[in-house]
């Protein structure tokens, strides 16, 4: 049985590429197809299995500008030839699911999200150009909708994404949370241990991730400027210069860090601050695996993956004992003032959503500090283990069985490879 794995592009090791690597552990002889592949940017396992890329690969310096080639994606993905395969699995947040599959071949889409830049977030991605691009975006929406109808089965990475699939494509999706590998992270049992880099564990909160506008890191920096509490920022991106200028002396920037350094920051932090609305969010799960809690926006898939206290509700002792973090309210929700009472409508109307979210995060951090000593390391670690590769593999098998798909022949490998797959399953 021949399996084809189709990915959008392979230019870095992010959540989607980590999922692809897990699929290659399930199907070690599968061939990988992508619009674009930059060797050495993902894993050696992925590099070894890339069979073919689109003609975009041949454009000079395409790695620097491929995201701007959006109008060419329909033609590029159509150029991938999947004849001779028995099962096609697309891992898609853009064009991969629109690949043309031979008649009679099952196509499963493991969907990270419907394409945000053509559906509901064009303004965030294109800014003032978004109105000008509307005719193009509408054409791409028609193409994307037509491609979604050729998929046999949708699998979503969260209920949040399943709702987006239902909204934009009118299709139902099975939910299987992505596998989060955390064996490179160890919980720090004592918050008094000094780190190898001279940091004192528990001295600062942590933001980890890309420094880009939609991640809303400016909300975090402004909130900690007001709190005067130490904040570590790990990550790089186009917002770096602006955020450094905005930050007070209590905010330290680490830039891009290695996995080993990130694991240390997770374990040594007081809590992770996660201000965005994510389709799943692997970073919070990784931090939980280090035994540290998460303070997150009450939005997106974090409402599914984090057992958190709501900063606007007085918790019971039982809720505190089970908590692995704290939620703060989005600006669209009713806000509370400094005294804990609801803000009046006039205040909400005269203050920007950004200001309201900064205030909400400040309140959530103060709320967290009141209960910090009662949030246990073992509860955080247990929450992270709910999203491990073993659970993913088990649920994937159940999904295939429920839909009459027998993939056992695709998992028969040479003894050495088979042993490796069992070890990592």
Q: How many CA atoms lie within 13 A of 45 on its CB side?
A: 19
Return the pLDDT at 102: 95
Model confidence pTM above 0.85: yes
Return the pLDDT at 421: 31
Structure tokens at 418: 């088979």
Give phi and psi for 69, each to the nearest 5: -95, 25
Alpha-carbon gap, residue 355 to 349, rounded angstroms: 11
Confidence of residue 199 (pLDDT cuts 50, 70, 90): low
Fold annotation for 3-179+388-404 = Rossmann fold (3.40.50)
Q: Is the pLDDT of residue 353 over 60?
A: yes
Beta sheet of 231-234, edge-to-edge order:
251-255, 231-234, 205-208, 272-274, 294-297, 325-328, 308-310
CA nearest neighbour of 321 among 365, 371, 374? 374
CATH among 3.30.930.10, 3.90.1150.10, 3.40.50.2000, 1.20.1250.20 for 205-385: 3.40.50.2000
Return the pLDDT at 188: 62
Asked whether the beta carbons of 281 and 299 are under 8 A apart, the reply is no
Q: What would the mean pLDDT of 217-233 be, rounded to a whole number?
A: 97
Alpha-carbon gap, residue 265 to 206, rounded angstroms: 7
Alpha-carbon gap, residue 397 to 102, rounded angstroms: 24
Alpha-carbon gap, residue 356 to 363, rounded angstroms: 11
Residue entry with tokens 């206290």: 309
Q: How many CA atoms lie within 13 A of 287 on its CB side?
A: 28
Confidence of residue 313 (pLDDT cuts 50, 70, 90): very high
Instruction: Encode pLDDT of 57-110 as tens digits.
Output: 999 999 999 988 999 999 999 999 999 999 999 999 999 999 999 999 999 999
Return the pLDDT at 126: 80
- In the chain, where does the domain assigned CATH 3.40.50.2000 lie? 3-179+388-404, 205-385
Q: Is the pLDDT of residue 343 over 70?
A: no
Please enumerate in sequence order all residues whose Cβ is within 8 A of that of 341, keeping only pairs 6 or more positions apart, or say none. Answer: none
Alpha-carbon gap, residue 330 to 298, rounded angstroms: 6
Asked whether the beta carbons of 191 and 399 are under 8 A apart, the reply is no
Q: What would the mean pLDDT of 9-18 be, rounded to a whole number?
A: 92
């Amino acid at each position: 049985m021949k399996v084809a794995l189709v990915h959008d592009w392979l230019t870095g090791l992010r959540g989607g590429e980590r999922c692809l690597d897990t699929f290659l552990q399930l199907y070690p002889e599968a061939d990988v197809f992508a619009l674009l592949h930059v060797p050495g940017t993902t894993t050696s396992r992925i590099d070894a299995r890339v069979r073919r890329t689109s003609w975009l690969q041949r454009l000079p310096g395409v790695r620097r500008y491929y995201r701007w080639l959006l109008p060419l994606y329909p033609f590029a993905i159509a150029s991938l030839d999947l004849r001779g395969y028995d099962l096609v699995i697309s891992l898609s947040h853009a064009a991969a699911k629109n690949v043309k599959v031979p008649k009679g071949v099952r196509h499963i889409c493991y969907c990270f999200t419907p394409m945000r830049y053509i559906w509901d977030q064009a303004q965030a991605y294109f800014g003032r150009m978004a109105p000008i691009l509307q005719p193009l975006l509408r054409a791409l929406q028609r193409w994307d909708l037509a491609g979604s109808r050729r998929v046999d089965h949708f699998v979503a990475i969260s209920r949040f994404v399943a709702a987006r699939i239902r909204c934009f494509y009118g299709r139902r999706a099975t939910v299987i949370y992505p596998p989060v590998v955390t064996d490179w992270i160890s919980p720090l049992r004592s918050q008094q241990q000094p780190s190898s880099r001279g940091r004192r564990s528990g001295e600062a909160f942590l933001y980890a991730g890309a420094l880009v506008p939609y991640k809303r890191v400016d909300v975090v920096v402004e909130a900690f400027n007001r709190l005067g509490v130490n904040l570590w920022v790990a990550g790089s991106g186009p917002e770096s210069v602006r955020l450094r200028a905005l930050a007070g002396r209590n905010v330290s920037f680490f830039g891009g860090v290695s996995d080993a350094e990130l694991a240390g920051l997770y374990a040594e932090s007081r809590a992770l601050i996660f201000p965005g609305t994510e389709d799943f969010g692997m970073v919070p799960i990784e931090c939980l695996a280090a035994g540290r809690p998460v303070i997150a926006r009450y939005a997106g898939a974090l409402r599914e993956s984090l057992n958190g206290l709501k900063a606007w509700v007085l918790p019971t002792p039982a809720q505190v004992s089970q908590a692995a973090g704290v939620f703060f309210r989005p600006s669209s929700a009713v806000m509370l003032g400094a005294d804990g009472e609801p803000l009046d409508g006039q205040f909400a109307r005269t203050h920007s959503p950004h200001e309201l979210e900064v205030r909400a995060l400040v309140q959530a951090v103060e709320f967290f500090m009141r209960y910090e000593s009662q949030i246990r390391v073992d509860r955080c670690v247990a929450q992270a283990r709910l999203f491990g590769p073993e659970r993913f593999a088990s649920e994937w098998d159940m999904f295939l069985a429920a839909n009459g798909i027998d993939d056992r022949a695709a998992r028969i490998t040479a003894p050495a490879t088979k042993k490796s797959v069992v070890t990592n399953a």
